[in-house]
Chains A and B, each alone.
Chain A
Amino acid sequence: MFIKQQMRRVRLAVVALGLIGVVPSAFAAGTDTNYNTDISNTASVNYSVSGVPQTVIQSSPAGNSAPGAGAGFGAPTTFKVDKKVIFIAEETNSAATITSPGLTQVVTVFRVTNTSNGAQDFRIAADNTQPPAIIFSRTDSFDMSNFTLHISAAACSTSTMTTPTYAGEAATTFIAALGEDACKYVFVRSDTPVSPTAANGLASTIRLVVSASTTGSSGVTLETQSGLADNAAAVDVVFAETGIADGNVTKDGVSMAFDQYFVGTLTVTKTAAVISDGFSPVGQYKAIPGAVVEYTISVQNNGLVTSGAALTEIVPANTTYVAGSTTLNGAARADVAGAMPFIGGGAINSPAAASGVINPGSTTAEIAVVKFRVTIN
């Protein structure tokens, strides 16, 4: 800063004299001039009277005729650069966050990017307000509650969007002094209602609202756009955001983004197939007395990683369990007290997962499959 001011002074002096000097070329392009910067300009005039060259005269805002070059002669014409507030709130991963009925403090992630001409404070808040059009192809079916906001300690890049993991950051309601062309990830945490309000396949869309607030006000005082009259000596505020997605309004000092929670639970599918009847050829087995029927129970996790997943099954009426016929993911599961092992409830899991753990996903590596056989009485 000190060096910059020095340079400016030097430069003005050189220019004013209208003589030679080493003048730095234009300052770094691509970065907006920061608000509160003074833009100064001094013109100079050289002239002669009756053939005699006269001392240079430097300009002033009101007009100056006192000859002389350098500081103290004339006065620079100056105005302050005003604040052009531009920023955007964005959802980070274009996908819903999976939750479960009754699950609390479920984290979803947004990014807030400031492209104003200088640092800017922001108020942040989250609620259940809906966008004009549904997102992620799912209608909003229930409300989340108990919203808290947290600023990620993770590095934020304005060019590459990531979705950092919540790491215990404290709750807050504002972002202080977000630098020019800088960003922060904001975690929104909220609680999922219990079943049946939140049920498998239902979604809740939530909103993050980011509003420009005055420096040092901890998000309490919002920036207001200055009226028509400009104060050349003060920093005025001009709202300049242009985003119109999801109901955003341009130039209002507010940017909002939406994200979604999606309830995923376990789905259980049960099929039966006759695998022999003692009479028919292969492929034509009938469910006649004495025929062997194999039941296949598939448990798929559409939500979060489970623990303690257990299956309780019964042997259907008018059938008899085939001793030792039960398998879990293709591996034999020993009978319990001479009976089908899931009658009293038994832990299940994805192939290669620990007991009780079913990993989310729809492939054979994730779906838990229980099979057992009965004969028809």
Chain B
Amino acid sequence: MNKASKILILAAIAACGLSSQAFAQDKGCIVLKSVAEVEEVTVDAKGEKSTKLVPAAKVVPGVEVTWTITANNICKQPSDKVTINNAVPEHMTYVANSASGPGTDISYSLDGKIFGAAEQLTVQENGAARKARADEYRHIRWVFKNSLLPGTQGYARFRAVLN
């Protein structure tokens, strides 16, 4: 299993190298940042509740963590076909309908190979296909519909609960 995976990766790296035009480049056009945060509910003097995101604190099983991935275009040209991929971290379970990203098409995958919209994913169980549940999604992909213009930022976000 382990060995097989390694071989796959090597193959993948080779494939990547072939298609890549800028493999040895020091700096790409996008600064990609991933941040883990949790929601903190505060009640102000008027008794009104407000929610803000604070760095992931006191994360114990059952706590939801918000992952935010930001992509900044630092080049002078637009970046096209921007696609962010993120696996749901090990020991975590994706929270249904939590993935968001302005101007993106979001798709999911169970195995990292086949991506599809939520309603398209199926799981084989007892010889029959059934619709996949959100807690079975292990990968999320955001495809930006428009180019990321120089100096602008796109972001993708999802929540996952610690098992």
Q: How many residues of B are counted as interface, with CB atoms below 8 angstroms from the partner's CB atoms?
A: 73
Given contacts A17-B16, A41-B87, A54-B20, contact A49 B80 (CB under 8 A): yes
B138-149 Cβ-contact flags toward A at 8 Å (1 or 0): 110100000010
**What are the residues of chain B within 8 A of A67 when measuring CB–CB?**
22-23, 25, 27-28
B136 touches A14 (CB 8 A): no
Cβ contact within 8 Å between A18 and B85:
yes
Contact (Cβ within 8 A) B34 A61: yes
Q: Name the A residues within 8 Å of B78 (CB-CB).
A: 49
Chain A residues within an 8 Å CB radius of B27: 65-67
- Residues on B with C-beta less than 8 A from A27 are 90-91, 163
Which listed residue (A53, A84, A117) contacts B20, Cβ 8 A?
A: A53
- Please provide the chain A residues from 23 to 57 with a CB less than 8 Å away from any CB of chain B in the complex: 23, 25-27, 29, 31-33, 35, 37, 39-57
Interface centre among B75, B83, B89 (most CB of A within 10 A): B89
Are A82 and B59 in touch, CB under 8 angstroms?
yes
A17: which B residues are within 8 A, CB to CB? Answer: 9, 12-13, 16
Distance (whole angstroms) from the CB of B60 to the closest CB of chain A: 4
Q: Quick one: which of B61, B77, B87 contacts A50, CB cutoff 8 A? A: B77
Residues of A within 8 A of B121 (CB): none
Minimal Cβ-Cβ distance residue in A for B86:
A43
Contact of A33 (CB < 8 Å), options: B1, B15, B91:
B91
Number of A-B contacts (CB under 8 A): 242
How many A residues face the partner with a CB closer than 8 A? Answer: 77
Given A47-B80, A54-B21, is A41 in contact with B34 using a C-beta cutoff of 8 Å?
A: yes
With known contacts A10-B5, A39-B90, A79-B56, A45–B135 Cβ distance under 8 A: no
Q: How far is it, in angstroms, between the C-alpha of A25 and the C-alpha of B75 when the chains are bound?
A: 37
Contact indicator A7/B83 (Cβ below 8 Å)? no
Residue interface mask B86-104, A partner, CB < 8 A = 1:
1101111100000000000
Beta-carbon contact of B33 and A64 below 8 Å: yes
Chain A hits for B23, CB < 8 A: 55, 67-68
In the assembled complex, the CB of B88 is this many whole angstroms from the nearest CB of chain A, namely: 8
Which of A21, A50, A59, A84 is within 8 Å of B34, CB to CB?
A59
Verify if A158 is at the interface (C-beta below 8 Å from B): no
Cα A68 to Cα B32 in complex, Å, equals 12
Question: Which of A97-105, A168-176, A232-240 is found at the contact surface with chain B?
Answer: A232-240
Q: A49-B75, A56-B16, A232-B57 are in contact. List 7 more A-B contacts (CB 8 A).
A: A14-B5, A25-B110, A46-B85, A54-B21, A55-B16, A68-B23, A230-B55
25 residue pairs bridging A and B, Cβ less than 8 Å apart: A11-B90, A15-B139, A17-B9, A22-B1, A27-B163, A39-B36, A39-B90, A41-B34, A43-B34, A44-B32, A44-B84, A45-B32, A45-B84, A46-B82, A51-B80, A53-B81, A54-B28, A55-B20, A59-B33, A60-B33, A79-B56, A81-B59, A81-B60, A84-B62, A230-B55
The 7 closest A-B pairs by CB, nearest first: A230-B57, A84-B60, A63-B33, A32-B61, A59-B34, A15-B87, A43-B86
